[in-house]
Chains A and B, each alone.
Chain A
Amino acid sequence: MNAPDVVAELDDLRVWFPTPAGVVRAVDGVSLRVRRGETLGLVGESGSGKSTTGLALLRLVDPTSGRVHVAGQDVTRWSRRRLRGLRRRVAMVFQDPQASLDPRHPVGASIAEPLVVHRLTDGGAARRKRVGELLDMVGLRREVAERHPHELSGGQRQRVGIARALAGEPDLVVLDEPIASLDLSVQAQIMNLLRGLQRDLGLTYLFIAHDLAAVEHMSDRVAVMYLGRIVESGTPAQIWREPAHPYTAALLSAVPVADPRVERQRRRIILSGDIPSPIDPPSGCRFRTRCPQAREDCADVDPVLAEVDPGHDAACLYAGEAVRAMRTETAG
């Protein structure tokens, strides 16, 4: 079933959390494939389920239904113990590097943890050597290994987080908003580092971000999530030039353009209201409550992802058409 170049795959994944207020449908039917060597950008607002999707790919949350495949194996029902061996194959870089490093240990120990757990190095000297190499790779001095997280800057801490993710030579690295909690000036450095590492090591990324601009230059393909579903996916070029889903179009219209002439003519599509509660998603199309182009039948029919162009899918009854209508209206 799996093509050899597919590193990881989600098939109609649902992750529901029971809460006192009701069942939160964080992820509600997501299918995606990550191919070897590519970067798949996963974009969505807070509450869209993008982080839960990433966690489910590592089986750090348990899927309610659907399948998780990693390296050609169906790991959906694997036990915690069995999963441990798999953890080497898929690594994760967390949003907040401060919180993701144990404050009690020098960062060298955090980086070495995958090496120790999977017995990848023989003895302390080899381990220190490997940690040194990893620090080199992420652009930190080797002495940093002795430091504790609170002694490092945010950017340095995230470099440590990346070094830890790379220690096991993973097939796939899930980047969960890796730059979102960093200073603006440091964000670009970390992006460049990630891009350089991908080029040098042939890494595969699932890059989770909350805005399209963050993934534009990084991704081979982009998937846009809204309320637990993927509403549009395609190459960045397809999505930028011809967004087919009104939600994507609205997201794009919020991205400022560096050219002042273009920026002056930029037509912003303002969405009304907040993202609805994932406990009780709207009937039919989930976006219809905020969609400027919602029609009557949007309340009845739940649109599935359908191809609008080769490699470009959208989940909208009026894919393309609605976006063109929006653009004409806002132009007026």
Chain B
Amino acid sequence: MSGAGQSAVRRALSALRHDPLAVTGSVVLVLLIVVGVAGSWLAPSGVNEVDVDRMLQPPSWSHPFGTDELGRDVLSRVLIAARVSLQVGAVSVGIALAVGVPLGLLSGYYRGWLDNILMRCMDVLFAFPVLLLAVAIVAVLGPGLLTAMIAIGVVYTPIFARVTRAGVLSVREQVFVRAAVSVGASDLRIMRRHVLPNIAAPLIVQTSLSLAFAILSEAALSFLGLGVQPPDPAWGRMLYDGRGFVTEAWWLGVFPGAAIFLTVLAFNLVGDALRDVLDPRQLTVSEARRSTG
């Protein structure tokens, strides 16, 4: 099986292999996923195992990341919190994709009043500072992991709607879309079979970058006490809890902070590399348009 679709993916993968940054990012992501899935097995001790004899211990062989103010093993908590971060990223970006992409498709394809209404709604969402909007949503729905994910999903929906709409606007003018209309294809079929596959590249890039920002937003929400509730571990929450001990127990903040940093960096590296690799395809689309005369 060869094909523009598949060969583009293959080309992208082989180009990524030669990009050391992308390889690094991918390796970190794979490790992260392994940790997210198997974190509770990898963790040397239970996530809420309180040990009052070993409070605020600096990193040592028995506790490589030290212990917190309740004597809990920071390494175990960091590992187990990876699942929360990945879950938040996947679910919130999933929500944003599931809502934003169809809205962008409808907007860009039908234009007119529908486009105006949808995009003005998106503008309103877009105009709010991300955290403020998320805080407002959490305030309404009550704090917790699920509401944090919904809030972040809502916040990122306009981005996907806009990216999708921009892609649709250029693809819908292509001759092959007119050709599909000319053989009698329905609007739904045209959007699904012809428009969506041709705007996949920018969406993939946006997805990987948004995953990073979603994880960051969750950390911020948890830091503000609006996300994951104690005693469940979350990187942002751990940062918050550790802030009171910055001078005497630096490891409380440094390790969860480093985890956030590495995760966001990895998603960004992969996202940037994907953008570089996938963008030439966008060029071919505009070339195709230029040659239609």
Contacts and interface: CB of A to CB of B under 8 A. Distances in A.
B182 A117 contact: no
A96 B291 contact: yes
B288 interface: yes
A83 B185 CA distance: 10
A280 to B, nearest CB: 23
Interface string A64-103: 0000000000000000100111111001101110111111
Interface of B: 1-5, 7, 174-176, 178-187, 189, 193-194, 197-198, 284-285, 288-289, 291-293
A113 B291 contact: no
B176 A99 contact: yes
B288 A91 contact: no
Contact residues on A (Cβ < 8 Å of other chain), bracket: 35 or more
Given A98-B288, A117-B189, A146-B2, A104 B179 contact: no
Contacts of B175: 94, 96, 99-100
A102 B288 CA distance: 10
A100 B176 contact: yes
Contacts of B5: 104-105
A181 B285 CA distance: 18
A87 B183 contact: yes
Main secondary structure of the interface of B (DSSP, over half): helix
Interface stretch (A148-156, A196-204, A250-258, A317-325): A148-156
A104 B197 contact: yes
Nearest to B289: A99
Interface of A: 58, 60, 80, 83-88, 91-92, 94-96, 98-106, 110, 113-114, 117-118, 146-151, 161, 164, 167-168, 181
Given A94-B175, A99-B291, A117-B189, A85 B184 contact: yes
B71 to A, nearest CB: 57
B179 A101 contact: yes
A118 B186 CA distance: 10
Contacts of A149: 4
B2 A92 contact: no
10 contacts: A84-B186, A87-B182, A95-B293, A103-B284, A104-B5, A104-B198, A106-B3, A114-B183, A147-B2, A167-B183
